[in-house]
Amino acid sequence: MASSSSSSSTQVKKITLKAADGKHFEVEEPVAMEMETVKSFFVGNEDAMKDMVVPLLNVSSEHMPAILDFYRNHSEFRKRTPPPPAEEVKAFNEAFLENKSDEQLMEMIMAANFLNTKELLNFLTEAAANRIKNKSVEYVRAFFGIENDFTPEEEARIRAENEWAFDGLDED
Amino acid sequence: MSESCSNSRHFSWLMKSCFPNSNPNQNYHTNIHQSITTTTTTTAAATDISSLPDDLLLECLSRVPSSSLPSLSLVSHRWSRLLLSPSFFHLRRHLHLLHHSLFALSSTTLQSATLLFDDDTTCSSWVLHPFPFLPLHSLSFANFQSFLSQARLSAIGPRIFIIGRNAMLRYDTWTRTLLSCSPMLFPRKKFASAVVSAKIYVTGGAYSTPTQSATVDEYDPETDTWRVVSHAPRVRYGCIGASVDGVFYVIGGLKMGGESAARAAGRREAHVLYASSMDLYDVEARAWLRSRALPGGGCVVGACASMGHVYILANHAVELSFWRFDARRKSRGFGEWSRIKSPPLPGQVRVDSRVKFSCVGIGDKVCLVQVMGCIDDLLRRSGRPLRGFKQSLVLVYNTDSGDWTRGPDLPDVIPRAACVHFQS
């Protein structure tokens, strides 16, 4: 397997990834292998490792540094003994999401899905869920630019039926 | 194991996104390069959450706390549809966001209450909800009460079906909405209902013609349709339904047929007519298994399924007995009855013909809710019937340890309740 070859050599191998807009990123092999998509690219094709450029079609170069940073830190968290304190992981995750717009978050979810990394996808979808919880219908629609396709009659009827279920929402 | 499932699912998404129009037999690398042009356009369009594909939107929505679900279902038709989809339920189960709860609905006050059962501890406390009484069904309050008083409840995941004689409602505990569904094919009263593989099965009960009530009818919530799937070996009035291992159990009730049927419907105390047996319908095979005799005299006042067993509560006029039937079809003990610890009724609860229990299987627990009955028949005899009545006792049987504990009493505002287990 690819991972065993890296441990036998003293120098860390690098893999070149190509973002959707054509920009190249040189990445240490273990970090690149965090992405199932990259890993499966090399399955049965180990000889090609040296000069192969892996195209990542759904990942814009804007998000690549942050995503690679996530992989580096989280794989380090996993390997460390004893495991890092929860606050350290939480602090990293919060810093990761800070200043990320909703649009950027959505793009990264698409990227994480394409890269087939369960850990990153779980983390990002959880973050998206946190942004829409306890919000009013109007807030959620405006926040994510969703068009209301209910007719006024439909909406009024559903609201009348479950009006009391709307208690306890956050202020918009 | 579940981890590998999700990985394989992700892998199939990946394959989809990688090779949008490809033939799997074509060369791997040419495909990758061909698909660059097609996929970059979708990246550029990914500007907000509504442009996420359903799979990814579900991943986000399934992580939202349940208290936010009512408003999310109103965002758009698409979101509402996603929240109703089986995938949404499965994702929440996978994320351990589903909890067992007991739902109780009063037919007289139209109040409902839920009791959450945690995994380790027994249960918390009742949470009251006003039930969304519907003007849109043009039912008066009194009609609605009478509809509820004869209804059976069955739940599929978070959705509770209230099956009445001539109408059926679906109450969604996530979105807190009530919808009208197709009514049963034949009006039934005191019938058995149970859920097998996300479909509802009913049989038995009072009838206009005997042949109709002898059918087993299946309700498919996906299509909102009923159909007859079988004919029962006998008609039972006041029977109770349960399901284990794909088998619909039709338990107890009164024997029906010919002249005696009409009499039985009018006479509740007709002990001689108890059908002390239960019928077993194998839903997938569409076949009846051998019927089984019931222990304890056959006067079953409550029954439910839990952890591969059917539990029944039998009334012997002065005391109750509690029995367990091994319903695991692959087990060697399949078909064996054993008597287990009787529910510890407090001294003031007298067992008589008026006492009524609802028996509900909730995960590895069996919950007995006293929904009717007297706490002190001396008071009743002395001409003060109302003061002597109390209906609130909740007893919880742990199928693991075999012990009974007392749960929080059903709130006073939930008299004459119908109870059901749901997951949300």
Q: How confident is the model at residue A162 (pLDDT cuts 50, 70, 90)?
A: low
Question: Which chain A residues are Cβ-neighbours of B175 within 8 angstroms?
Answer: 162, 165
* Beta strand pairing call for B177-181 and B168-172: antiparallel
pLDDT > 70 in chain A, percent: 81
What pLDDT, in 10s, does the model give residues A44-78?
766 666 667 888 888 889 999 999 999 999 989 98
Give per-residue burial for B337-360: e unless 16+ CB within 10 Å, then b.
Answer: beebeebebeeebbbeeebbbbbb
pLDDT number for residue A8: 46
Reply yes or no on whether the pLDDT at B20 is more than 50: no
Q: What is the pLDDT of residue B183?
A: 93
Q: Please give the distance of CA A143 from its chain centroid, rounded to a whole number.
A: 20
What is the pLDDT, as a whole number, of residue B254? 86
pLDDT of res. A139: 83
Q: Residues of A with CB below 8 A from B68's CB?
A: 132-135
Token code pair at residue A44 = 């049965």
Whether A58 sits inside 8 A of B60 (CB atoms) is no
pLDDT value for B16: 38
Nearest to A161 among B13, B78, B178 (CB): B178
Mutate to test the interface with B, among A132, A138, A155, A167 (most CBs of B within 10 A): A132
Please tell me whether residue B111 adopts helix, strand or coil conformation: strand
Cβ of residue B81 closer than 8 Å to a chain A Cβ: no
CA angle centred on B39, ends B34 and B44, rounded to 5° = 145
Q: What is the percent of chain B with per-residue pLDDT over 70, rounded to a whole number?
A: 73
Contact residues for B341 (Cβ-Cβ < 8 A; gap 6+)? B322, B397, B402, B403, B404
The least confident of B227-236, B334-343, B381-390 is B381-390
- A149 min Cα distance to partner chain B (Å): 6
Please report the pLDDT score of residue B205 as a whole number.
86
pLDDT above 60: residue B135: no
pLDDT grade for B22, boundaries at 50, 70 and 90: very low
Asked if residue A96 lies in contact with residue A66, where contact means CB atoms within 8 angstroms, the answer is: yes
The answer to whether B20 contacts chain A (CB < 8 Å) is no
pLDDT in tens, B30-89: 333 333 333 333 444 444 555 788 899 899 999 999 888 888 888 999 988 899 888 999
Banded model confidence at residue B309, pLDDT cuts 50, 70, 90: very high
Distance between CA atoms of residues B210 and B171, nearest Å:
31
Does residue B240 register a pLDDT over 50?
yes
Give yes or no for residue B234 having a pLDDT over 60. Answer: yes
Question: Is B57:B82 a contact under the CB 8 Å cutoff?
Answer: yes
**For position B36, what pLDDT does the model report?**
35
**Region for residue B224 given its phi and psi (left: phi exceeds 0; alpha: psi -120 to 50; beta: otherwise):** left
pLDDT confidence of residue B353:
65
CATH number of B100-423: 2.120.10.80
Pull the structure tokens for residue B302. 């409550």
Q: How confident is the model at residue B145 (pLDDT cuts 50, 70, 90)?
A: confident
How far does the CA of residue A47 sit from the closest CA of chain B (Å)? 15
pLDDT of residue A164: 53
Checking DSSP bridges between strand B320-326 and strand B417-423, what pairing results, if any?
Answer: unpaired
Top-confidence range, A28-42, A150-164, B358-372, B376-390: B358-372
* Burial of A140 (C-beta count, 10 Å sphere; 0-12/13-18/19+): buried
Name the pLDDT band for B396 (thresholds 50, 70, 90): very high
The answer for residues whose C-beta is within 8 angstroms of residue B309's C-beta and 6 or more apart is B244, B324, B325, B326, B327, B328, B399
Contact present, B230 and B288 (Cβ < 8 Å): yes
Distances (CA, A) of B21 to A61, B18, B32, B34, B39: 25, 9, 11, 10, 11
The rounded mean pLDDT for chain B is 79
Q: Would the CB atoms of A145 and B50 count as touching at under 8 Å?
A: yes
pLDDT digits (tens, 9 = 90+) for A129-140: 999 888 888 888
Q: B391: which residues sit within 8 A by CB, 6+ positions away? A: B356, B370, B371, B372, B373, B410, B415, B416, B417
- Domains of chain A (ranges, CATH numbers): 2-132 (3.30.710.10), 137-166 (no CATH)
What pLDDT sits at residue A169?
62
- Can you give the pTM of this predicted structure? 0.78
* String of DSSP letters for A59-108: --TTTHHHHHHHHHHHHHHHH-SSPPPHHHHHHHHHHHHTT--HHHHHHH
- Mean pLDDT is lowest, of A19-23, B129-133, B235-239, for B129-133
Tell me the one-letter amino acid at B119.
Answer: D
As a whole number of angstroms, the distance between CA B364 and CA B100 comes to 10
Domain boundaries, chain B: 2-94, 100-423
Rg (CA), chain A: 21
Rounded to whole angstroms, the Cα distance separating B230 from B281 reads: 9
Mean pLDDT of all residues in B156-173: 92
Mean pLDDT of chain A: 83
Beta bridge partner(s), residue A27: A15
